[in-house]
C-alpha cells in the first residue's frame, strides 16, 4: 500500500459515514447499512496499517539523518585533529 493514499482512505471513510446517515434517515435498509459498516471497518483497518507504516518510515529517515550527521561530525573532528597535529612543532 502507498503511504500517500492515507488522506484518500480517510476521505472515503467520511463519505461512507455520510452515506450511512442518509440511508438511516431515508429507508433504514439494514443490508445496505451493514455493507457500509463493513466497508468503513475495512478502510479504518487499512488506515491504521498505513499510519504505522508511515511512522516507521519517518523513524527510519530520522535515524538515517542522525547517523549521517554523526558521521560528518566525526569526519570534521578528525580533520581538525589532523590539522592541529600538523601545526604543532616537531621539536
Helix residue spans in 1-91 (DSSP H): 6-26, 30-87
pLDDT tens digits, one per residue of 53-71: 999 999 999 999 999 988 8
6 has pLDDT over 90: no
- Percent pLDDT > 70 in the chain is 95
**What are the extents of the domains in the chain?**
3-87
Instruction: Write the CA distances from 90 to 41, 86, 87, integer angstroms.
Output: 75, 9, 9
Spacing of C-alpha 79 from chain mean position: 37
pLDDT tens digits, one per residue of 11-22: 999 999 999 999
Q: Using a cut of 0.75, tell me whether the model's pTM lies above it.
A: no
Amino acid at each position: 500500500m502507498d503511504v500517500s493514499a492515507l488522506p484518500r482512505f480517510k476521505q472515503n471513510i467520511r463519505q461512507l459515514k455520510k452515506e450511512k446517515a442518509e440511508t438511516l434517515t431515508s429507508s433504514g435498509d439494514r443490508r445496505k447499512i451493514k455493507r457500509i459498516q463493513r466497508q468503513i471497518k475495512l478502510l479504518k483497518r487499512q488506515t491504521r496499517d498505513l499510519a504505522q507504516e508511515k511512522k516507521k518510515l519517518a523513524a527510519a529517515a530520522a535515524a538515517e539523518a542522525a547517523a549521517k550527521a554523526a558521521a560528518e561530525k566525526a569526519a570534521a573532528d578528525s580533520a581538525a585533529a589532523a590539522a592541529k597535529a600538523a601545526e604543532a612543532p616537531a621539536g
